[in-house]
């Protein structure tokens, strides 16, 4: 019994131990299951992160993720795991190969980039350093992507540089406008004879397609010529002023000399007069007490001889004075004569310059500033007399095509011939100026309403009948004319605007015609 009890109690202990051991085992297995679950979730997440590299891999991984959600079917997933393992190995070698190929492509791109000229030195150095770095293999895409970014950045910088350079040298509409204005200005400025060929070459270079450099050079050369002219003008004025100054100094010296001399002579002469007076006094005194006639004769003769000597001295002095004065006057006359000649030349130069400033260099017609002056004069006359005054604006038709077809210098000659024709078709009291380009302005005083159209039609016909011949081709050139008569309370500038509007109409009514604004 005692033994049975002992056995029972031992069995209980064992049972208890077994129970504890099972509990511990259950707990362990639960813990392992949790960890395994976590691992499976991690594998699922990782498989998601691998998505997109390879379609086959993506499908396998999707299947695996599905199986891994069902814990009890985990054994089914083993073949999939093996497949995926194999694909992953293949994928890795494929990625490595791809990365190598991409590195080769990037090196090619860099080689191309290095061939671009005018890359700033700093950027050039960066590019060749980067090229050296590219010789090291990429291990992952994360090595590759920054390199692509770097190349994009290089391209961006090179492009920015190019765009900058391109903008700098591109001829824009505003440059074309400046070229046109410069060309126009060159036609209005009078240059020296030896400068004219250069100016005409510059004008030609500004017409067709030109580079920005040509325009800049043109400005530089023109500026140089103008400065040279100003310097020459200044030198001429200075030379004249030096001559003037020298002459005035000489004249002053001569005058001062002769003044000093005159004072001295005056003093000597005064002294001689005094001496002569004294001698006359002496004569009266010395003869007052003489009774003897012979003694008197002797005394008078002595006194007279002294007086004669004094007079001779005075005469000699005066003669010397005369010679000196004559010489001074002659010197003065020569100096003033030279100065007058010099002044005359200078005046002529000024006058010529003034005249040139009012003449259009190409056509030799009065220019715009001369026109403005004449308009004022005619306007004042009109206000005083109320006689009719007409303003007409004439413009050559399709002149651009003359330039385009036969060249700019033919265009220039055409302008000269037409300008002469216009001038010759007017009376002396009438006036024509080159307003600019291929436009001329006529001022016609004292023409009645009925006469203006025939008059301007004669002018138009005169131009039309000029037998132009370019490149063996007979060409007819026409002009369109618009005219207006000044009316009460109107400014002449307003009359001009009406004439210009009439010209616009003439141009639109197929040109070669006269339109009067009534
Ligand atoms: N040769 C030369 N051409 C000039 C001069 N001044 C202006 N021109 C040219 O005159 C032409 C004027 O052209 P547009 O204003 O288009 O007029 P257009 O061809 O005469 O045509 P319409 O006036 O409409 O009949 C431009 O080609 C100018 O370059 C100059 O001094 N010499």
The answer to whether residue 14 is domain-embedded is: no
- Choose one of 327, 357, 387: the last residue of a domain: 357
Mean pLDDT of 345-374: 81
Q: Do 166 and 177 share a domain, yes or no?
A: no
Burial of 146: CB neighbours in 10 Å, binned 0-12, 13-18, 19+: exposed
Q: Do 284 and 396 share a domain, yes or no?
A: no
Q: Whose CA is nearest to atom 4 of ligand 1?
A: 437
- CB within 6 Å of ligand 1 — which residues? 187, 362, 395-400, 403, 408, 411-412, 415, 437-438, 507, 511
The answer to whether residue 410 is domain-embedded is: yes
The answer to whether residue 397 is domain-embedded is: yes
In this predicted complex, what is the ipTM?
0.95
The DSSP bridge pattern shows strands 389-396 and 439-445 to be antiparallel
- Choose one of 118, 150, 170: the last residue of a domain: 170
Residue numbers of the domain that contains 428? 368-517
Q: Do 296 and 409 share a domain, yes or no?
A: no
How far is C-alpha 324 from the chain's CA centre? 65
Higher-pLDDT residue of 74 and 344 is 344
Q: Of the residues 177, 200, 418, 438, which should be mutated to test ligand 1's pocket, given the most ligand atoms within 8 Å of the CB?
A: 438
Residues in CB range of 118: below 8 A, 6 or more apart? 161, 162, 165
CA distance 58 to 51: 6
CA distance 434 to 412: 13
Spacing, Cα 499 to ligand 1 middle (Å): 19
Q: Do 236 and 335 share a domain, yes or no?
A: yes
The pLDDT value given to residue 169: 66
The answer to whether residue 15 is domain-embedded is: no
Element spanning 410, H or E: helix 408-424
How many distinct structural domains can be found in the chain? 3
Spacing, Cα 480 to ligand 1 middle (Å): 13
386: confidence class by pLDDT, cuts 50, 70, 90: very high
Q: Are 432 and 441 in contact (CB under 8 A)?
A: yes
Tell me the pLDDT tens digit for each residue of 297-344.
Answer: 887 788 788 888 888 888 888 888 888 888 878 887 887 788 778 778
- Choose one of 357, 386, 403: the last residue of a domain: 357
Q: Do 374 and 294 share a domain, yes or no?
A: no
What is residue 171's three-state secondary structure?
coil
Q: Do 333 and 211 share a domain, yes or no?
A: yes
The pLDDT value given to residue 354: 63
Q: Do 184 and 324 share a domain, yes or no?
A: yes
Q: Do 233 and 284 share a domain, yes or no?
A: yes
Q: Do 123 and 63 share a domain, yes or no?
A: yes
Question: pTM for this one?
Answer: 0.47
Higher-pLDDT residue of 81 and 511 is 511
Q: Do 372 and 424 share a domain, yes or no?
A: yes
Q: Whose CA is nearest to atom 16 of ligand 1?
A: 400
DSSP at 332: H
Element spanning 261, H or E: helix 212-288
Percent of the chain that is helix, strand, coil (3-state, to 5): 75, 10, 15
CA distance 228 to 213: 22
CA distances (Å), origin 386, targets 218, 288, 320, 382, 428: 48, 95, 71, 5, 20
Q: Whose CA is nearest to atom 3 of ligand 1?
A: 411
> Taking CA 387 as the corner, what is the angle to CA 383 and CA 393, rounded to the nearest 5 degrees?
90
The answer to whether residue 315 is domain-embedded is: yes
Burial of 34: CB neighbours in 10 Å, binned 0-12, 13-18, 19+: exposed
Strand partners, 431: 443
The answer to whether residue 301 is domain-embedded is: yes
The answer to whether residue 8 is domain-embedded is: no
Q: Do 226 and 181 share a domain, yes or no?
A: yes
Mean of pLDDT over the chain: 85
Q: Do 237 and 385 share a domain, yes or no?
A: no
Mean pLDDT of 344-359: 73
Q: Of the residues 411, 464, 500, 515, which should be mutated to test ligand 1's pocket, given the most ligand atoms within 8 Å of the CB?
A: 411
Q: What is the CA radius of gyration of the chain?
A: 57
Mean pLDDT of 490-505: 96
Q: Are 485 and 499 in contact (CB under 8 A)?
A: no
Ligand 1 nearest-atom number relative to CA 511: 25
The answer to whether residue 11 is domain-embedded is: no
Tell me the pLDDT tens digit for each residue of 236-271.
Answer: 777 777 777 777 777 777 778 777 877 887 888 888
Residues in CB range of 285: below 8 A, 6 or more apart? none
DSSP 51-109: TTS-HHHHHHHHHHHHHHHSGGGGGGHHHHHHHHHHHHHHHHHHHHHHHHHHHHHHHHH
CATH number (domain holding residue 490): 3.30.70.270
């Amino acid at each position: 019994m005692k033994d049975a009890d002992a056995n029972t109690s031992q069995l209980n202990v064992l049972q208890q131990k077994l129970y504890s051991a099972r509990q511990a085992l259950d707990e362990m297995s639960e813990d392992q299951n949790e960890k395994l679950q976590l691992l499976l979730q991690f594998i699922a997440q990782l498989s998601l992160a691998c998505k997109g590299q390879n379609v086959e891999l993506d499908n396998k991984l999707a299947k695996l993720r599905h199986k891994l959600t069902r814990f009890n079917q985990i054994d089914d997933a083993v073949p999939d795991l093996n497949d995926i393992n194999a694909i992953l190995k293949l994928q890795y070698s494929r990625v490595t190969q791809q990365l190598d190929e991409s590195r080769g492509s990037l090196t090619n791109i860099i080689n191309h980039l290095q061939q671009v000229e005018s890359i700033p030195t700093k950027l050039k150095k960066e590019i060749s350093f980067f090229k050296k770095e590219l010789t090291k293999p990429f291990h992952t895409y994360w090595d590759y992507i920054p390199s692509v970014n770097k190349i994009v950045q290089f391209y961006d910088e090179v492009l920015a540089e190019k765009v900058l350079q391109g903008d700098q040298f591109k001829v824009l509409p505003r440059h074309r406008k400046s070229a046109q204005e410069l060309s126009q200005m060159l036609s209005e400025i009078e240059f020296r004879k030896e400068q004219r060929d250069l100016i005409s070459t510059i004008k030609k270079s500004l017409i067709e397609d030109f580079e920005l450099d040509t325009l800049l050079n043109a400005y530089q050369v023109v500026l140089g010529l103008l400065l040279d002219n100003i310097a020459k003008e200044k030198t001429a004025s200075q030379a004249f002023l030096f001559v003037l100054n020298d002459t005035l100094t000489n004249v002053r010296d001569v005058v001062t000399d002769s003044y000093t001399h005159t004072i001295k002579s005056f003093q000597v002469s005064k002294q001689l007069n005094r001496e002569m007076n004294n001698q006359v006094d002496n004569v009266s005194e010395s003869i007052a007490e003489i009774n003897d006639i012979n003694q008197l004769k002797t005394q008078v003769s002595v006194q007279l001889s002294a007086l004669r000597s004094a007079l001779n001295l005075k005469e000699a002095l005066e003669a010397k004075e005369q010679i000196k004065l004559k010489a001074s006057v002659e010197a003065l006359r020569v100096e003033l004569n030279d100065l007058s000649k010099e002044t005359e030349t200078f005046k002529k130069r000024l006058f010529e310059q003034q005249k040139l400033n009012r003449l259009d260099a190409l056509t030799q017609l009065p220019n715009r500033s001369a026109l403005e002056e004449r308009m004022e004069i005619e306007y004042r006359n009109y206000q005083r007399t109320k006689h009719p005054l007409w303003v007409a604006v004439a413009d050559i038709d399709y002149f651009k095509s003359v330039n385009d077809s036969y060249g700019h210098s033919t265009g220039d000659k055409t302008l000269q011939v037409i300008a002469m024709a216009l001038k010759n078709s007017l009376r002396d009291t009438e006036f024509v100026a080159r307003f600019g380009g291929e436009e001329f302005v006529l001022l016609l005083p004292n023409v009645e309403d009925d006469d203006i159209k025939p008059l301007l039609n004669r002018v138009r016909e005169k131009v039309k009948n000029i037998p132009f011949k370019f490149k063996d081709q007979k060409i007819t050139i026409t002009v369109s004319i618009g005219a207006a008569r000044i009316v009460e309370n109107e400014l002449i500038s307003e009359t001009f605007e009406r004439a210009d509007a009439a010209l616009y109409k003439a141009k639109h009514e197929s040109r070669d015609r006269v339109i009067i604004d009534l």
